[in-house]
Structure 1
Amino acid sequence: MNNESLEEILHSIKDNKLSLILASTKNCGVCTSIEPRVEYLVNKYPNINYKHIFIDSMIKASGEFTIFTVPTIIMFAQGKEVHRESRFIDFENLEFEISRWYDYLFN
């Protein structure tokens, strides 16, 4: 769980080359089940700025990031949104996109 404010999260997205946000709610079973897979994937790429936000605790985040359903994963490269997946997460595609942007930005 992330205890940062929305402003701190937005600042960290701008300050890091590559950021990944997992947006969920506390009572979302699917969100709970995919969280370990997302964390495993992010740990393979040490320079990714990873944030897990609960939009039921941070309501303004759903508006800021245009989140209509959970889980939603949003990836930012150099502060710009470059990839988004919602509800049904294709982890193979997600890893491909992370790898592609990671190689571009860090290699």
Structure 2
Amino acid sequence: MEKVNSYEMWLTVVNQQKPLLLFVKTDHCSVCDGLFPQVAALQVDYPISFYMVNIARVPEISGQLSLFSAPVVLLFNKGKEYARFARFVQMSELKYRITELIEWGKDID
């Protein structure tokens, strides 16, 4: 999972128009630390880009994406937010939405 180190980097990434997942975490967050390996493991099964940002280090993203807690998992397609999962993420629902995003993208291209 690639790290987003600045808001400018995030703008470049999201404007590439490709489906992607953004995992948002913060410092000293046990829920973030527990969820991260589960989400990171999905990279093997899904052909989308995975990114991670620590909002304690890049606080601009928090304001720009209206993030009020952590962890948050965001799915994007063509520069637009597609789905949002906050705090307690059900992995089955996340997998379903990633699959849906991939299939939806195939229909449009």
TM-score, L = length of structure 1: 0.90
* In structure 2, distance between residues paired with 1:102 and 1:53: 22
Alignment of 1:1-107 (within 5 A): 2=3, 4-46=5-47, 48-106=48-106
Give aligned pairs, total. Answer: 106
Amino acid corresponding to residue 35 of structure 1 in structure 2: F
* CA RMSD in angstroms, aligned pairs only: 1.5
Offset, 1:64? 1.1
Q: 1:3 to 1:19 in 2, by over 3 A?
A: closer
Contact map agreement 1:13 1:49 (CA 8 A) in 2: no
Offset, 1:106? 4.1
SS of 1:103's equivalent in the other structure is helix
TM-score, L = length of structure 2: 0.89
Offset, 1:16? 3.8
Runs of 4+ in 1 over 4 A off after TM superposition: none
Structure 2 gap segments, 5+ residues each: none
Offset, 1:59? 0.8
Offset, 1:99? 0.4
Amino acid corresponding to residue 18 of structure 2 in structure 1: K
What percent of counterpart residues are identical? 27
Amino acid corresponding to residue 42 of structure 1 in structure 2: Q
